[in-house]
Amino acid sequence: MEFSRRLDAFGDEVFASLNARRRELEAEGRTIVDLSVGTPDFEPPAHVVDALVEAAADPANWKYSLHDTDELLEAVCSYYRRRFGVEISPDMVMMVSGTQEGMGHLALALLDPGDSILVPDPCYPIFAGAAHIAGATPVYYPLTRENGFRPDVASIDPATADEATYMVVSLPANPVGSVSTEGLYEGIIEFAREHDLLVVHDNAYSDIVFDGPAGGSFLSFPGAVDVGVEFFSLSKSFNVTGARLSFLVGRPDVVAALRKLRGQIDFGTFMPLQKAAIAALEGPLEPVEEQRLAYQARRDALADGLEAIGWDRPNAKGTMFMWARLPERYAPDSMAFAEELMERAGIIVTPGSSFGPEGEGYVRFALVRPAAELAAAAAVIGEAGFGA
């Protein structure tokens, strides 16, 4: 049987290959510390779990949901007002089953074969993968070390921007850990206007920002609603990654386009999951701030530890990840480094090459262990001979 040619655009999944070797090593009795996948080790809030359990006990909630409830849409609007100071209306909101799924489906709703989009490099793989799914072409714009791994619209070829349908922006950025600076979003909004671009903003890490002002929303900037949408996720802030609680928020026509496509693909979000999302959106935010501080302590412990063994201090201004430049003698093959690190030190990291061409020479650490364990992991890396 011949399969779709679109599958040719996707290589082997790096997490799968690393995890397969991990299982082999553990079967041999090795202790492995997995810092590759961004699954929070914190627990979800009790009131969110209770809301899901209570809703699941009601037989009526096991029917097709077919739509987002008015209660859910209003909860998102109220949260945006409370958390970000942004006024939105229910027609600007729809729930999606995780940002990854949402990004892929949005591409199908907006793109035709032969179209192009602008995606950051390095970036989370679905940004480019979504274009391939739709038969379109991802065109990378680089996030360079010299520019703090932030978008620089002045470096994007105007003709390339004119041809693109939309531009993906991700801040705080996975994998590179960069955050926005003053004037950055304003420049992106003006660039979008000049080139008739839609901005698709990934806002998965708005609550995990270090050393400065709290994270916010792209939609809080003047003109953003006219040119853009953002994916807003509860996964990392509330430790509910498996529940896939995310939303597309912004321009009503774009939200309506995705809703029309989704109507042909599924029957809406399971009602107990909608109830869990409402509980998270309406509940206290103090635990979210406590968790942010815990992530910052983890960032400090790992960054200090890597710097102590001679590595450049990693870039980690936000997200639950740390973007670390490999010592010169290990560059440029980040995959080979990750494999050797797992074999010799028992520590799994994600090779930077899996995030795009500009990721080569870097690795990504996930801050998914307590600070003391991350400090110990850095020491083990040095003891195994991987210092600079």
Q: What pLDDT was estimated at residue 25?
A: 84
Inter-residue contact 67 to 94 (CB < 8 Å): no
Cβ-Cβ contacts under 8 Å for 170 (sequence gap 6 or more)? 120, 123, 124, 127, 201, 202, 204
Sign of CA dihedral 12, 14, 20, 24: positive
Would the pLDDT of 12 be above 70? no
What are the extents of the domains in the chain?
A: 5-43+286-386, 46-282
Global pTM value: 0.95
Question: The CATH number of 5-43+286-386 is which of 3.40.50.300, 3.90.650.10, 3.30.1490.20, 3.90.1150.10?
Answer: 3.90.1150.10
Please state whether beta strands 245-250 and 321-325 pair in parallel, antiparallel, or not at all (unpaired): unpaired
Helix-, strand-, coil-residue percentages of the chain, each rounded to 5 = 50, 15, 35
Summarize pLDDT for 319-353 with one digit per residue, the tens. Answer: 999 999 999 888 789 999 999 999 999 999 999 99
Arch. (CATH architecture) of 46-282: 3-Layer(aba) Sandwich (3.40)
Summarize pLDDT for 81-102 with one digit per residue, the tens. Answer: 999 999 999 999 999 999 999 9
Summarize pLDDT for 160-213 with one digit per residue, the tens. Answer: 999 999 999 999 999 999 999 999 999 999 999 999 999 999 999 999 999 977
Tokens of 259: 């809703």
